Structure 1
Amino acid sequence: MPVQRDRLYADVQFLTSLNPPRSIGYPESLRKAEAYIEAEFCKLSGRVSKQALHQGFHNLILSYGPEQGERVIIGAHYDVCDDTPGADDNASAVAGLLELARVVHEEAPEAKHRLDFVAFNFEEPPYFATEKMGSAVHARSLKRDKVDVKLMICLEMIGYFTDKPNSQEFPHESLRKLYPSTGNFIVVVGQAGQERTVKRVQQFMQEHSRIDVQSIAAPQGLPGVSLSDHRNYWAQGYQAVMINDTSFLRNPHYHQRTDTIDKLDFDKMVEVVRGVYAAMLNF
């Protein structure tokens, strides 16, 4: 399955080279990021729609597969925190989202459910955990329209890996016995009560990629578990997981100006995307 490292790199390079960074503090750069994603989606298909957010911004949605019936949502946010370049958070995931969309259009598999690729705005502060989050607007609209969502996959920071011993931190000491101490794995994060969903996504990713795929289904209050767009699908009663490199539990550049493209492992990112591709099609 032809996930292309060079395309992932080019996407991250464009997004992180926007100066000033693509945060709400610099709306012109944020609009450039939105325009770039829209243009990449439109290269693939005419099934691109825009969902209005406040201040004239949008969620961008590319659909593939059957119009009616169940849907799998794959999403990533394209805004950054403050003055950070946001290579891992969250250009890595936007690049993954775009590459998943490209590959599915190139391979043209027969999808058993509709796939909606959604680029969200307003995940970062000051909007985080408010109704203005792009993903909150999207999740509410699905619920209002009674859409049958089979699964939501949130891509959130999928590019930082290290082979340094004891590089992995944990939100609770008890987890040290259960997970690797070296931060070179990807994790499928879900909430308690959705264990079966989490395990299925993990299994598809493990079977179709060459990367260590871990998983956790934990209470939403455990630090890190609900810190992205998937939280808004949980709030609407949907099954949702986050694909994540554990963020601040591993990456010292989280929300820092040092979150730059040279810190990312694109070979491992390729494997993450390969795994998610299998999960989104087969779930």
Structure 2
Amino acid sequence: MAKTLKDNVNVFCKDIGPRDYNNYDNLEKSKQYIISKFKSMGYNIGIQDYQIGDKTFSNIVATKDCLNKNKNSKTVIIGAHYDSTLGSADGGASGISALITLADLYKNTNAYHNVRFVAFVNGEKVFAKTDQMGSKIYADYIKQQNENIEGVIVLDSIGYYSDKPLSQRYPFMGPSMPNKANFLAIVGNSDSKALADNVTSYFNDSSWLPVKNINKDFLIGYGVKDSYSFSKNGFKTILLTDTSIYRFEDINRADDKVEDIDFSYMSEIVKNLKEYLISY
């Protein structure tokens, strides 16, 4: 699995590179890559297009229906953004690469709830926390459809880890917080506490990976993440992250490279997420 994750990160970071409003051709290459991967796995594909000026932007939706699908069937959404201003590895590619790899692991699974993998466009920079953010467009849409969404899990910056003391910086310092950057943060608001607690408990029971359940108000910058789009619309939503700039100061910069990613940690996250989805 580590090789698959690394291959996907390399495609986004090295083969494609920066992909956003100003690097539109690369953004389209990313879109086509994601669609081709989802199609090869046998998923039902949906494209949600919207316009900004003379350009079309797309959220990509891959769905696996449950064994006994009906209008009341519950749906779990797993999402990550695929745009990246600088083509960075942890900040721009770790989430979407994990999403694709997770979908591949899950493709032959049968469950009693629907699972939907969504690749969001325009998650970075000028579009963050605006009505043109891909996740906001999608969250608004599914709210209007009154879909039975059981929970939303967003992956963003999940690839950087270190066992060195004091590698975890502010605000995660103090007697109750780890000072080593070797844990996965699970972040949600008070309405999403049950979902955050369930995922945290599952990882604690099933994985060697340390996890920390963190209230969103403690994570400065939560309001510009894709998870905010869903929690603002009232969906139970959690963000899985390595805490981004509080751990890796070069994140979203040119120095955020593939070589900095710990694919063994990422593999553990993806493997346990797959098993969690089965048991949900």
TM-score scaled by length of structure 2: 0.93
* CA contact 1:76–1:90 (8 Å) conserved in 2: no
Q: Distance in 2 between matches of 1:14 and 1:116?
A: 23
Q: Distance in 1 between matches of 2:43 and 2:242?
A: 33
Deviates more, 1:95-104 or 1:205-214: 205-214
SS of the residue corresponding to residue 73 of structure 1 reads: strand
Quick one: which amino acid aligns to residue 57 of structure 2?
F
Change (3 A) 1:113 1:161: same
Q: Distance in 1 between matches of 2:138 and 2:203?
A: 26
Q: Which residue in 2 is equivalent to 1:93?
A: 95
- Are 1:120 and 2:136 counterparts? no
- Are 1:48 and 2:45 counterparts? yes
- Are 1:261 and 2:258 counterparts? yes
The percent of aligned pairs where both chains have the same amino acid is 27
1:46 offset after TM fit, Å?
Answer: 4.6
Q: Distance in 2 between matches of 1:46 and 1:85?
A: 27
Question: Out of 36, 41, 52, which is 1:39 matched to?
Answer: 36
1:20 offset after TM fit, Å?
Answer: 5.1
Q: CA RMSD in A?
A: 1.6
SS of the residue corresponding to residue 203 of structure 2 reads: helix
Change (3 A) 1:11 1:193: same
- Are 1:235 and 2:237 counterparts? no
* CA contact 2:154–2:227 (8 Å) conserved in 1: yes
Quick one: which amino acid aligns to residue 13 of structure 2?
T
Quick one: which amino acid aligns to residue 157 of structure 2?
M
- Are 1:205 and 2:203 counterparts? yes
Which deviations, in whole Å up to 9, do the C-alpha atoms of 1:194-226 show, x marking residues without a partner? Answer: 32221101112233322111111243x851333
Q: Which residue in 1 is equivalent to 2:188?
A: 190
SS of the residue corresponding to residue 141 of structure 2 reads: helix
Q: Distance in 1 between matches of 2:166 and 2:232?
A: 35
1:159 offset after TM fit, Å?
Answer: 0.3
TM-score scaled by length of structure 1: 0.92
1:133 offset after TM fit, Å?
Answer: 0.7
1:19 offset after TM fit, Å?
Answer: 5.2
Q: Distance in 2 between matches of 1:193 and 1:184?
A: 27
Deviates more, 1:221-230 or 1:186-195: 221-230
Change (3 A) 1:158 1:116: same
* CA contact 2:90–2:252 (8 Å) conserved in 1: no
Quick one: which amino acid aligns to residue 276 of structure 1?
L
* CA contact 1:50–1:58 (8 Å) conserved in 2: yes
SS of the residue corresponding to residue 135 of structure 2 reads: helix
- Are 1:145 and 2:145 counterparts? yes
Question: Out of 70, 73, 76, which is 1:72 matched to?
Answer: 76
Q: Unmatched 5+ residue regions in structure 2?
A: none
* CA contact 1:18–1:29 (8 Å) conserved in 2: no
Change (3 A) 1:132 1:228: same
1:162 offset after TM fit, Å?
Answer: 1.1
SS of the residue corresponding to residue 136 of structure 2 reads: helix
Which deviations, in whole Å up to 9, do the C-alpha atoms of 1:72-118 show, x marking residues without a partner? Answer: 0000000013xx2210013111111011110111xx23212100000
Give the length in aligned residue pairs: 273
